[in-house]
Structure 1
Amino acid sequence: MFLLEVDEQITLKILHLSDAEELFLLTDRSREYLREWLPWVDATKTVDDSRGFIQHARKQYAERKGLACGIFYQGCLAGTVAFNSFDWLNRIGYIGYWLAPYHQGKGIMTRACQSLIHHAFYILELNKIDIRAAYENKKSRAIPERLGFMKEGQIRQAEWLYDHYVDHVVYGLLAREWKEKHSL
C-alpha cells in the first residue's frame, strides 16, 4: 500500500480500517470547524461512517481512481490529503484536503501537498493538478497559492454547503511548471 515519508515529522499513508476510530475522533473534534467548508461532515456520525470512507478510499486506490491518505504528524493522524479523482485520459489529478484546526499553522498541509504533487508529476506522470477551494476559505486557498499554482478562474455557486452555495476558485499547476522549479 501507499506510504510517503514527507519529512521527519510527516508521513502520508493509505488509511487502514484500524485507523477508523482515530479518524472519526479527529473529525468529531473538528466538526464545527470542518462543517464551514466540507459538505460531508454531518453525514459522518459514527466510527462506521469513517470505516466506510476508508473502505471506499482503499477501493478507489486499488482501481486507480483516487489516492486518499491520512496525514500523520509526529505519529498522530492530523487530517487527510487526497487525489479525490484522476482523469487518466488527460493526466489530471484533483486534490482535496483538510487538517484539524489544532494542527494548522505549522506548514503541515503545504508540505504534505508538496510531496503528493512531487509524487504525482515524477511517479504517476500526471500533466496537471487541479485544486479547488471555496472563495471565502482563505486558509485552503493559501495552499495552492504558496505552492505556485495559477488561479485559473472562479466557478459561481459550485457547491451546496448545508444551507447556501459557495463559489470555488480553481487553481492549476502543470508538470513542466513544477519541474522547472523543483528539478531533481
Structure 2
Amino acid sequence: MFIHKIDDELALKLPELKDAERIFELTDSSREYLKEWLPWVDFTARVEDTQDFIKAGRSNFAEGKTLNAAILFEGEIVGMGGFNSISQANKAASIGYWLAPQYQGHGIMTRVVKAFTEHAFDELELNRVEIRAAVGNQKSRSIPERLGYVEEGTIRQAEWLYDHYVDHTVYGMLAEDWHNRIKNTQQ
C-alpha cells in the first residue's frame, strides 16, 4: 500500500477498493456542498461508482497518467487530491482536490497541495504544475495563492456545472520558481 506521510496529522494514500465506502460516504454527505464547484458529483450515485473511480485511478497511476490520493487526517480519509493529469512529454501536471466541509479550516489542503507540488518537482522532475479553480471559488483559489502560485489568467466558460458555465482562474508554478521560493524562505 502506498502511503506518503506529510506530517504528524496528514498522509496521502493511493485508495484501495476497501476505501470506496468511506470515500462515497464523504461524497454523499457533502453532496450539495461539492456540487457548487465540482461537475462529477451527480455521477457518483452509488458506492460502485466510487469503486469504478478507484479502479480507473489505479490503472491511470500505473500508466503514469494521474495520481489520485485519499487524504488521511489523523488516520481517517477526509477528502481526495492529486494530479488530474500528468504529461511527461510536457513535464507538467494539473492538481485537483476536494475536502469534506467539516475538515476545512485546519490548513489540511494547503499542506496537501504543497506536498503534491514538491512531489511534482522533486520526484517526478516536472517543470510546471497548474491549478484551475472556478473564479468564484475563493476557498479553492486561496490555496495556490497562499503557496505562491502565479495567477496566469482566466479561461472563460471553462466548465459546465449542471446548468451553467463557470470561468476558471489558472494558477501556475514552475520548478525554478518553487525552488527559488524555498531557498529564499530558508535564508
Per the normalisation by structure 2, the TM-score is: 0.96
**How far off its partner does 1:28 sit?**
0.4
Aligned residue number for residue 40 of structure 1: 40
1:118-151 CA distance string (max 9 Å, x none): 1110010010000000000000000100010000
**How far off its partner does 1:87 sit?**
1.4
**How far off its partner does 1:3 sit?**
2.1
Distance of 1:181 and 1:4 partners within structure 2? 23
**How far off its partner does 1:9 sit?**
0.3
Aligned residue number for residue 113 of structure 2: 113
Distance of 2:182 and 2:53 partners within structure 1? 33
1:33-83 CA distance string (max 9 Å, x none): 000000000110111011000001000100000000000001111101110
Aligned residue number for residue 172 of structure 1: 172
Alignment of 1:118-157 (within 5 A): 118-157=118-157
Aligned residue number for residue 13 of structure 1: 13
Query: What stretches of structure 1 of length at least 5 have no aligned partner?
Result: none
Q: Which moved more, 1:162-171 or 1:79-88?
A: 79-88
Matched, 1:57 2:57: yes
Aligned residue number for residue 71 of structure 2: 71
Distance of 2:53 and 2:35 partners within structure 1? 17
Distance of 1:21 and 1:56 partners within structure 2? 16
Aligned residue number for residue 84 of structure 1: 84
* SS of structure 2 residue aligned to 1:106: coil
Distance of 2:172 and 2:46 partners within structure 1? 35
Distance of 2:96 and 2:69 partners within structure 1? 10
* SS of structure 2 residue aligned to 1:69: strand
1:77-117 CA distance string (max 9 Å, x none): 11011101111111000000000000000000000111111
* SS of structure 2 residue aligned to 1:132: strand
* SS of structure 2 residue aligned to 1:181: helix
2:134 corresponds to which letter in structure 1? A
1:108 corresponds to which letter in structure 2? I
Distance of 1:105 and 1:29 partners within structure 2? 18
Q: When the two structures are aligned, how many residues end up with a matched partner?
A: 184
Query: What stretches of structure 2 of length at least 5 have no aligned partner?
Result: none
